[in-house]
Amino acid sequence: MFKRLLAESRTRDALVIVVASLFIWEACVELFAPSPLILPAPSAIFAEFWSSPWVFIRHSGYTLAVTAAGFAIAVALGVVLAVAIVYSRFLERTIYTLLVALNSIPKVALAPLFVIWLGTGTEPKVSVAVMLAIFPIVIDTVLGLRSVDPDMLSLARVSKASPWQVLFKIRFPCALPSLFAGMKVAISFALVGAIVGEFVAGGTGLGFQILVAQGQFDTPRVFVSLLLLSLMGTVLFYLVDFAERLCLPWHVSQRPHAGGAGG
Amino acid sequence: MDAQTTGQTYVRISRVGKVYPSPRGDVTALADIDLDVRSGEFLSVVGPSGCGKSTLLKTVAGLEAVSSGQISVRGAPVKGPPDRLGVVFQRDVLLDWRTILDNVLLSAEFQGLKRAHVEGRAKELLKRFGLGGFENRHPWELSGGMRQRASICRALLSDPELLLMDEPFGALDAMTRDDLNVELTRIWQDSAHGQRKTVLFITHSIVEAVYLSDRVVMMSRAPGRIVDVIDIDLPRPRPLSVRETPRFGELTAKIRHHFAELGILKE
Ligand SMILES: Nc1ncnc2c1ncn2[C@@H]1O[C@H](COP(=O)(O)OP(=O)(O)O)[C@@H](O)[C@H]1O
Ligand SMILES: [Mg+2]
């Protein structure tokens, strides 16, 4: 799988760009010699990482776990909510309207509330991740569940399909492309949520690392955490992308070539 | 008239009206429709777009309730979709994630039929419609004509007595449409006497209606109503060349003139 990923020109191009920018960055720092407090060179950042790799890996692992848990809960809860909203006029008018309204406020500002409610452990961090990630899931899944061709639903009625059959055999597969679109946004939001959670009340995690390093004016340390975060975000995004390809080989966006057979 | 088509009434539509409420005033889609579809008859409805053809089909299918009057199928009032019904729409609505065979089996799956019991019949139907080698292809690998053939197979799988078709060939090119007209009449004709399906076929093509049907119902717009019912006395089986015969020309001309008189078609 990794070989195949590398073989893809997209992955190769991305790697080339990353490596090239690191070299330019290094060269610029050599050339203009800014204070390491402002901008450390990539070499200094890597040195910082190598000085205590396991510390960074432990913190990364924590943030990754919070992100994954938040994302998983957001997907499970979001899909159930979306189905409920699509099937109930009442829930649509209440929960959905509320969600859409809530979506427009900066949810990050609610993070301190979770600390008051849930303490300073892992729960508030996962909760913030869920809160951020669930919106795109619900909104996109509702859209997907509603995108079924009305003629298809008529056909199901004529064939006396049960509501469950309509949900699992028609609506849900139909909503999968939208769900994946929502999941691609949600995975990044879950990571943001995890970091915000760690900012607000922490002891572990890359967000907490950044906060501590900033307090000590340890800029290389901040950069190590930032680079690890972007690496994590990218890998997570492509994992969702990969899952999408596995699940939706039939979707327009995944077809190897356009056009059908003649005749 | 063809002796085989003078069956008993299969669908009775009496004094049916349909009004769609809408914020910008109610829309009367159907007004005072009276029509009997006989058992084993191939009946087409032609009319300009918006005259209520699809609405008529949906009320017969039990998908839309009538606002006034009554529809009965096999003597029983329609309250929901009647049994032994097959429907084909203009869009083939095949599911992209299922193979052609699985799409054809969808309705049977909904009805809880064992796959092993119907799979053979599904394959046979596909073969009859020239889709023999395509069972395991996906809809997006097929042309529009092939997709519509598959959706007809899906409707025919449960061997319905009543087949409702809403402009099934309206989106196809003329040649594919001719092919499908021939195939559809052949399939319909092949059924043994007495078991012939009752077909309510909606189209906006006069030529198609005359070619396929025993009777053609002409509808006009605003409100949707029946203006005439024409018997098509062309002998069956009908090769495509029947369309070049004088009688065929007379029939299409008659319908066209009538629409022209109503101001629906320009002459
Ligand atoms: N669900 C609906 N709600 C409101 N108006 C409708 C609806 N369906 C059809 N109509 C209206 O009813 C009329 C007849 O529509 P339709 O039966 O689709 O005609 P046709 O199939 O002959 O083109 C049109 O004026 C259309 O706008
Ligand atoms: Mg229509």
**Segment B170-200, tens digit of pLDDT:** 888 998 999 999 999 988 887 655 578 999 9
Torsional sign, CA B105, B111, B114, B117: negative
A256, pLDDT greater than 80: no
Class of domain A60-251: mainly alpha
Nearest ligand 1 atom to the CA of B57 is: 17
pLDDT value at residue A153: 95
Rounded mean pLDDT of B123-149? Answer: 92
* CB-based contact A173 B95, cutoff 8 Å: yes
Q: Please give the C-alpha separations between residue B11 and each of B199, B216, B232, in angstroms, as whole numbers.
A: 10, 15, 19
Torsional sign, CA B40, B116, B91, B67: positive
Residue of B262, B265, B220 whose CA lies nearest to B53: B220
pLDDT value at residue B194: 56
Mean pLDDT (chain A) is: 89
Question: Distance from B32 to chain A by nearest Cα, in Å?
Answer: 25
pLDDT value at residue B177: 92
pLDDT value at residue A189: 95
pLDDT in tens, B148-176: 999 999 999 988 999 999 999 988 899 89
Q: Give the list of residues 6+ apart from residue A110 with CB closer than 8 angstroms, or none.
A: A128, A131
* CB-based contact B89 A162, cutoff 8 Å: no
A121, pLDDT greater than 80: yes
Rounded mean pLDDT of A197-210? Answer: 89
Strand partners, B216: B44, B230
Residue B41 near residue B199 (C-beta atoms within 8 A): yes
Q: Which residue has the higher pLDDT, B97 or A258?
A: B97
Q: In chain A, what percentage of residues exceed pLDDT 70?
A: 93
Q: Which residues surround ligand 2, an ion (CB under 5 A)?
A: B 54
Q: Give the list of residues 6+ apart from residue A6 with CB closer than 8 angstroms, or none.
A: A12
B23, pLDDT greater than 50: yes
pLDDT in tens, B210-253: 999 999 999 998 788 899 999 999 988 888 999 999 999 999 99
Q: In chain B, what percentage of residues exceed pLDDT 90?
A: 61
Q: How far apart are CA B136 and CA A70, in angstroms?
A: 39
Residue of B59, B5, B62 whose CA lies nearest to B33: B59
Residue of A53, A48, A45, A65 whose CA lies nearest to A204: A65
Question: Distance from B141 to chain A by nearest Cα, in Å?
Answer: 4
Rounded mean pLDDT of A168-185? Answer: 95
User: Where does A147-218 have alpha helices with state H?
Assistant: 150-158, 163-165, 172-200, 206-215
Residue of B35, B34, B40, B36 whose CA lies nearest to B6: B40
Q: Give the list of residues 6+ apart from residue B175 with CB closer than 8 angstroms, or none.
A: none
- Judged by average pLDDT, the poorest of A99-113, A161-175, B66-80 is A99-113
Angle between helix B115-128 and helix B144-156 axes, rounded to 10 deg: 140
Strand partners, B85: B162
pLDDT value at residue B9: 87
pLDDT in tens, B106-115: 988 998 888 8
Strand partners, B134: none
* CB-based contact A155 B58, cutoff 8 Å: no
Mean pLDDT (chain B) is: 89
Residue B204 near residue B212 (C-beta atoms within 8 A): no
- Residue-by-residue DSSP string for B226-266: EEEEEE----SS--GGGGGSHHHHHHHHHHHHHHHHTTSS-
A152, pLDDT greater than 70: yes
pLDDT value at residue A193: 94
b/e map of B43-53 (b: 16 or more CB within 10 Å)?
bbbbbbeebbb
Inform me whether the C-beta atom of residue B61 falls under 8 Å from chain A C-beta atoms: yes
Q: Give residue B79 CA to ligand 1 midpoint distance, Å.
A: 20
Q: How far apart are CA A6 and CA A11, in angstroms?
A: 6
Domains and CATH numbers, chain B: 3-84+161-261 (3.40.50.300), 92-160 (no CATH)
pLDDT in tens, A209-248: 999 998 998 999 999 999 999 999 999 999 999 999 888 8
pLDDT value at residue B1: 42
pLDDT value at residue A263: 37
Q: What are phi and psi of A68, to 5 degrees?
A: -65, -45
Task: Indicate the pairing of strand B85-88 with strand B162-166.
Answer: parallel
Residues in chain A: 263
3-state DSSP assignment of residue B138 = coil
Inform me whether the C-beta atom of residue B87 falls under 8 Å from chain A C-beta atoms: yes
Rounded mean pLDDT of B71-77? Answer: 90
**CB-nearest partner of B110 from A151, A159, A252:** A159
pLDDT value at residue B4: 46
- Judged by average pLDDT, the poorest of A151-155, A191-195, A251-255, B95-99 is A251-255
